[in-house]
A and B are shown apart, each in its own frame.
Chain A
């Protein structure tokens, strides 16, 4: 019984070179693998939408289940605290993800006629990641909310059977 770990270790040592080569190859494959956004691409996508404006936390509430079994359909709702009057209303809501192939999820234009700045839809999530919602107010300020969602089975990247 106590010999077993030793044998396993010896087995590992003999294939160390092969193992390292394989590990290197795997690392390379990971780099080559297409279409995975990163937090940086998300930040770039956000910059593209909001420009150089600074984003504050608050006023907007992003609601997603914290643990999702199937990333193909995830119920999402976004609500912004706003009186929605002609003077003070939400102009737009944008949602972004960190690790989906493309960071954008949805962009919505609203106005005072919306009455209530609240939308809901169903989205795809490729992996366990942060989701960010940003709203643009009529006074030009931006507010955001960020939550982490744990995904058991991701969407988008699976192949057809």
Chain B
């Protein structure tokens, strides 16, 4: 990977304790399936993001395994309970040593 992948995450800055919040994540990635061929008929090797792990103050709250059927620039939304102020961190890993990280701060009142 030449340039680091661009990520976009959407986590509410503030939440009430116990509130269920929606988290949206987007990362730029081609998600090459490995099932396509170039114009010479050669197979294009697979190059996808295989997992997204989300941690809330170090504790894992969400873990997704991606397969080639996930569209390019994987976009995932999920939910969590706002338990305490802190950091929600995201880590994507994939083929060819791909890795990207992002995090967001949340204040829980």
Residues from chain B with Cβ under 8 Å of A157 in the complex: 35-36
How many pairs of residues, A versus B, come closer than 8 Å at their CB atoms? 106
Q: Are B68 and A113 in contact (CB under 8 A)?
A: no
Interface band, chain A: 35 or more
Q: At the interface, yes or no: B28 with Cβ under 8 Å from chain A?
A: no
Q: Are A123 and B78 in contact (CB under 8 A)?
A: no
Interface segment, one of B4-12, B69-77, B92-100, B101-109: B69-77
- The answer to whether residues A105 and B81 also contact, given A124-B33, A160-B37 and a CB cut-off of 8 A, is no
1/0 contact string of A96-120 vs chain B (CB within 8 Å): 0100111011111111011111111
In the bound assembly, the distance between CA atoms of A73 and B21 in angstroms comes to 25
In the bound assembly, the distance between CA atoms of A155 and B33 in angstroms comes to 10
Q: At the interface, yes or no: A161 with Cβ under 8 Å from chain B?
A: yes
Q: At the interface, yes or no: B87 with Cβ under 8 Å from chain A?
A: no
Q: At the interface, yes or no: B79 with Cβ under 8 Å from chain A?
A: yes
Residues from chain B with Cβ under 8 Å of A117 in the complex: 79
**B101 shortest CB reach to chain A, Å:** 19
Residue of A nearest to B68 (CB): A102
Q: Are A121 and B70 in contact (CB under 8 A)?
A: yes
Selected from A101, A114, A155, the residue in CB contact (under 8 A) with B78 is A114
**B76 shortest CB reach to chain A, Å:** 5
Residue of A nearest to B38 (CB): A160
In the bound assembly, the distance between CA atoms of A125 and B69 in angstroms comes to 7
Q: Are B67 and A121 in contact (CB under 8 A)?
A: no
Selected from B35, B61, B62, B77, the residue in CB contact (under 8 A) with A121 is B77
Selected from B33, B35, B56, B69, the residue in CB contact (under 8 A) with A113 is B56
Q: Are B70 and A109 in contact (CB under 8 A)?
A: no
Instruction: For chain B, residues 40 to 63, give those with C-beta under 8 angstroms from any C-beta of chain A.
Output: 44, 56, 59, 61-63
In the bound assembly, the distance between CA atoms of A161 and B37 in angstroms comes to 10
Q: At the interface, yes or no: A23 with Cβ under 8 Å from chain B?
A: no
Contact surface of B with A, Cβ cutoff 8 Å = 20-21, 33, 35-39, 44, 56, 59, 61-72, 74-81, 83
The 7 closest A-B pairs by CB, nearest first: A115-B20, A115-B81, A116-B79, A109-B63, A122-B71, A105-B69, A104-B67
